[in-house]
Amino acid sequence: MSLVYQISDNLISPLGFTTLSNFDAVVSGSTGLKYYAEGSLGVPEAFCAALIERLLLHEQCHAAGIPQDYTDFDKLIILSATLALRNTGIDSSSDRTVFILSTTKGNISLLAEGFTKGSPDKRLFLWHSAGLLSDFFNNPNKPMVVSNACISGVSAQLVARQLLLSGRFDYAVVVGADLVSKFVVSGFQSFKSLSQQVCRPFDAAREGLNIGEAAGTIVLGRASGVDELPANNLYIAGGSITNDANHISGPSRTAEGLYRAIASAVKTNNHEEPGFICAHGTATPYNDEMEAIALNRVHMQHIPVFSLKAYFGHTLGAAGLIETIIASQALRQSVIPANAGYNECGVTQPVAVNTETKAYACSSFLKTVSGFGGCNAAMLVKKKEVN
Amino acid sequence: MEELILKLKEQIIEVLNLEGMTPEDIDENAPLFGEGLGLDSIDALELIVLMEKNYGIKLQDANQGREIFRSVSCMAEYISKNRKF
Amino acid sequence: MILVSKYCVMRRHTLIEDGKLIFESNPDLKYSEFLSAVYRNLQLQYPKFFKMDELSKTGFLAAEVLLSGRTDNRNLQNENMPVYMICRSSSLETDENFELTTGAEYFPSPSVFVYTLPNIVLGEIAIKNKLYGENTCFVCEDFANEIVFDYICQGVRSACPNEALVLFIDQYHGVGEVLAVLISEQRNENDGITGFTIEHINELLNKH
């Protein structure tokens, strides 16, 4: 039976410009999050966020031949895709290759420079960024953007998976990114959902999330069966997108949407339990509680779980991708990262939060994400075992 | 206080988009959340903005708001004691 | 084949269902007033409508025309029905409105911020109609994106039952339009109004 597998990836964050440098940073317990005093980015209240060093970004983009007059967001997505595609041998200009962009706000920071109502800067349109991305690689397919709030990164992978399984394309380059901006920080501050310290997923003292910026790219391909894959290769074994049908910003108190997404994602894998769970774990009081409820409803409360938000912050449209990338690396290297920031259980139902980075061999993981609009997604990634 | 209560009702109707409601429709002693007007978590956050924007009162989080936003009367009482302008 | 079984178009001050004009307002009405007029015409009792931004109101009303009466009817309700949307301007007008709350007079509004994501339209529809299935928002330069059409068709084929709601929607500064279609997989082309293809979707849009 056909399946969709990971060919290569790239991760750009304050912790580095490659997947491996980011993974090493996570394993060594580093964080990209910093405290920003009142007035930073034009925001009156202090906040904690993870920002990519712009000088380094511009240097790398210049070296990659990316036009200097492109916005930081447009540069970032092209750079990430470039680095992911390097050495894959894939013809990115073929119509059998499709680019899919995952983002929530794209170039939204342009609004702060001033705007005229009714005459938008075309760079504000998300499809414009996707167009610059596919044009850079001379790709003839119409650019495609998945914008599904914080689940976009997983949504985009599942969309890519479906398009590959159907045979319409041979390769999908799924790129996700979002930047920290006054717009986004102000918005989450208005929700009183930010913490000024490094966030503490699932912890009793958690008080909110941090915003981070990042880009992640996963290049996916199709194989006719598991046998065709090289050992240690990872493939998407199942996935599901659902809705809570409850509230546009607060998660369902019964975790209805996430419960259904997880149940559906593992159904196609004979209900086999994943080895570990890379949770959404934003460290807001409500999200983490909801995830604990969902995991208990599917009887996965004993499976080691961690959130990566204390290393990267919440990277919105990039989150589903960069966290899949780190979890995938962990699966390949038989390691499980620590859920940084956790001391004491702060959710009403038990979950097996992994508190230290250590050796851990297993053959699959579950990635969960949830977002505004009541959307949820779960995706099962499996490793081809060595016989 | 009556004047403040009336003004507050008008402001609440406006910021919470309570279409078709007039101040007469709001009982100042009825609960704002749960029954009564049945406001939700986003409404509570907008009331926090209203307190700061119109009266200079800065609340830290929705929990602090729980007591204050019990009813329009409660809000008016808190505002009259703590308003900056 | 994937066919359109029901559709609704709302644009230029008219509301059309399956080719029939069901409501028309004074063309001088502002778009926001037109939306309220449609709400009243449909005799909805849903106060949350007035908290939505214009993009969400647009999508919500179109879905209401197609789905009303289904939620509480066990024979018709399809709680796992996928809902897709394709839009061009994302939530740009609401983004601008939110930006204005973070200016020199800095009072960022949470009720505006929550609508600075286009997929909230799908959330509002899911809440009203108790839909728990897939909800995916695509942002494209125009509706004629074959890849998205392909994806949606595959989605319908693997859904159970083989049915989906699709919104072709856009709204920005006083101009809003939506074509909402219920699509399903059928054996016989006479079992639907028209085929779910870019060509036919454009026809439905241009007809009205």
Mean pLDDT of A177-181: 98
Does residue A249 sit at the B interface (CB-CB below 8 Å)? yes
Domain boundaries, chain C: 2-207
Which of these, A156, A149, A197, lies nearest to A173 by C-alpha position? A156
Q: What is the pTM of this model?
A: 0.97
> What confidence category does residue A268 fall into, taking pLDDT thresholds of 50, 70 and 90?
confident
C-alpha distances out from residue A179 to A101, A105, B21, C156, Å: 14, 8, 40, 34
CA distance B15 to chain C (A): 9
Does residue A174 sit at the C interface (CB-CB below 8 Å)? no
Q: How far apart are the first and last CA of chain C?
A: 25
CATH code of the domain containing B9: 1.10.1200.10
Which of chain C's residues have a Cβ under 8 Å away from the Cβ of B16? Answer: 51, 111
Helix-helix angle A319-333:A152-165, to 10 degrees: 70
Which pLDDT score, from 0 to 100, does residue A223 have? 96
- What average pLDDT does chain A have? 97
pLDDT digits (tens, 9 = 90+) for A70-117: 999 999 999 999 999 999 999 999 999 999 999 999 999 999 999 999
Which of chain A's residues have a Cβ under 8 Å away from the Cβ of B40? Answer: 247, 250
Q: What is the DSSP letter of A355?
A: -
What tokens appear for C6 in the block?
Answer: 């029901």
Which of chain B's residues have a Cβ under 8 Å away from the Cβ of A290? Answer: none
Best residue in B53, B58, B61, B85 to probe C by mutation, most C CBs within 10 Å? Answer: B53
Mean pLDDT of A210-224: 98
Tell me whether residues A190 and B45 touch, CB distance under 8 A: yes
Q: Which domain holds residue B13?
A: 2-82
> What confidence category does residue A158 fall into, taking pLDDT thresholds of 50, 70 and 90?
very high
Q: Are A6 and A235 in contact (CB under 8 A)?
A: yes
Greatest extent of chain B over all pairs of C-alpha atoms, in Å: 31
The count of structural domains within chain B is: 1
| pLDDT over 70 at A387, yes or no | no
| pLDDT over 80 at A273, yes or no | yes
Mean pLDDT of A261-270: 90
Which pLDDT score, from 0 to 100, does residue A308 have? 98
3-state secondary structure at position A16: strand
Which pLDDT score, from 0 to 100, does residue C74 have? 76
Report how far residue C172's alpha carbon sits from residue A117's, in angstroms, rounded to the nearest whole number. 9
CA distance C109 to chain B (A): 7
Which pLDDT score, from 0 to 100, does residue C165 have? 98
pLDDT digits (tens, 9 = 90+) for C157-166: 999 999 999 9
Report how far residue C137's alpha carbon sits from residue C167's, in angstroms, rounded to the nearest whole number. 9
Hey, which of A303-317, C73-87, C190-204 has the most confident mean pLDDT?
Answer: A303-317
Which chain B residue has its CA at the smallest distance from A192's CA? B61
CB atoms within 10 A of CB B12: 23
Chain-centre distance of CA B9, in angstroms?
A: 7
Tell me whether residues A247 and B40 touch, CB distance under 8 A: yes
Best residue in C139, C143, C148, C160 to probe A by mutation, most A CBs within 10 Å? Answer: C139
Going through chain A in order, the beta strands assigned E by DSSP cover 3-12, 34-36, 47-50, 97-102, 144-146, 171-178, 211-212, 214-223, 234-243, 276-278, 304-306, 335-336, 352-353, 358-359, 364-371, 375-383
Does residue A104 sit at the C interface (CB-CB below 8 Å)? yes
Best residue in C2, C113, C129, C167 to probe A by mutation, most A CBs within 10 Å? Answer: C113
pLDDT digits (tens, 9 = 90+) for A9-38: 999 999 999 999 999 999 999 999 999 999
Which pLDDT score, from 0 to 100, does residue A263 have? 96
Does residue B61 sit at the A interface (CB-CB below 8 Å)? yes
**CATH no. of C2-207:** 3.40.47.10
| pLDDT over 70 at A294, yes or no | yes
Q: Which residue ranges of chain B lie beneath pLDDT 70?
A: none
